[in-house]
Amino acid sequence: MKTLLILIILPFAAMLMSCEQEATAPKPLQYSRSAPATQQVVYRFAVHPLYNPQKLSQAYQPLIDHINQLVPEIKLELEASRNYQAYEQKFQSSEPAFLLPNPWQTLQAMKKGYRVIAMAGDAEDFKGIFIVRKDSGIKKPADLKGKLVTYPSHTALAAAIMPQYYLHNNGININKDIENRYVGSQESSIMNVYLGSSVAGATWPPPWRLFQKDYPKEAAQLEQIWETPPLMNNSVMVHEDVPKDIQSRVANILTGLGNSAESKSILANMETARFHAATDASYDRVRQYIKAFEKEVRLVESK
């Protein structure tokens, strides 16, 4: 009888253990091609090298924080680049979701699936300027012949292309009459002049204003001597893969800046008067400008 009872209990116990193991066994991982609807999406916001990375963060992080607060479904992360070429490689690879490129870079990014959603700043503020030492003796473009001029990059529209076109239109063959040196950043272009490494440095108004604030002693020994006519300002672009609703909301936030004390502070921090509504078509005049420059002066992508 005892043996019979054991024979009955053992299979039953085994069945219970099996059920318990099945109940506690971990479920296999579930894979999906898309993130859960509740998961925050991270997008990179890459700004071209207006300043060095530290200053770029100080200038633009408040804007990023503001957008993140108003569009909680996404998280924008500010991204700096060591120079123009590193920045251009990023959008050529369609890596960042959002861009703030110069107008020439804007035309290139359009070929990689980006579209314009705003213009950053007034068009009147987008112009090339020349900085010289006050004791340089430079008075007219002809005084630059045989001398060294610095620029941030050969693809910097306001701080290289437009100044070189200005010199061309004032009788300087920029390929023969002067030495052109591309030094990587706006600040470096100015600082080369202060240190006497170059006789003139090209930049544009926002970096020059910031240099005067950050380095008043050095800036007091420098002066702006010439300026070019203005063109379109930098754009804000978004990749076509970003949902249309997010694109529209970010564009509306940008063009709405300046309507509160907080957003006015954000604009002032970036040395930007306002953001204007803009589209790809807004930059057609830049395309015509570049076409004329390349015909008369040099190829943009050739140093």
107 and 239 inside one domain: yes
Count of domains forming the chain: 2
For residue 111, tell me if it sits in a domain.
yes
Query: H or E stretch including 180?
Result: strand 179-182
For residue 163, tell me if it sits in a domain.
yes
**Tokens 């894979």 correspond to what residue?**
31
pLDDT digits (tens, 9 = 90+) for 238-260: 999 999 999 999 999 999 999 88
Residue 98 has pLDDT above 90, yes or no: yes
Average pLDDT over residues 192-202: 98
For residue 133, tell me if it sits in a domain.
yes
220 and 137 inside one domain: yes
Can you give the CATH number for the domain in which 198 is found? 3.40.190.10
Tokens of 41: 């999406």
pLDDT digits (tens, 9 = 90+) for 123-177: 999 999 999 999 999 999 999 999 999 999 999 999 999 999 999 999 999 999 9
Higher pLDDT among residues 31 and 258, named by residue:
258
59 and 176 inside one domain: no
157 and 188 inside one domain: yes
- Specify the pLDDT at position 81: 93
Mean of the per-residue pLDDT values of the chain: 89
Separation between Cα atoms, residue 246 and residue 103, nearest integer Å: 23
Average pLDDT over residues 8-34: 39
Reported confidence tier of residue 1, pLDDT bands at 50, 70, 90: very low
Q: Which domain holds residue 119?
A: 41-123+232-296
For residue 5, tell me if it sits in a domain.
no
Separation between Cα atoms, residue 192 and residue 181, nearest integer Å: 10
Higher pLDDT among residues 12 and 204, named by residue:
204
Query: What percent of the chain is predicted at pLDDT more than 90?
Result: 81
116 and 239 inside one domain: yes
For residue 178, tell me if it sits in a domain.
yes
Residue 9 has pLDDT above 60, yes or no: no
Query: H or E stretch including 92?
Result: helix 84-92
Average pLDDT over residues 190-200: 98
Average pLDDT over residues 220-225: 98
Query: What percent of the chain is predicted at pLDDT more than 70?
Result: 87
207 and 241 inside one domain: no
Separation between Cα atoms, residue 215 and residue 218, nearest integer Å: 5
For residue 35, tell me if it sits in a domain.
no
For residue 114, tell me if it sits in a domain.
yes
270 and 209 inside one domain: no
Which of 90, 45, 95, 97 lies closest to 240, judged by CA?
97
Residue 83 has pLDDT above 60, yes or no: yes
Choosing from 209, 227, 245, the residue where a domain stops is 227
- Specify the pLDDT at position 302: 61
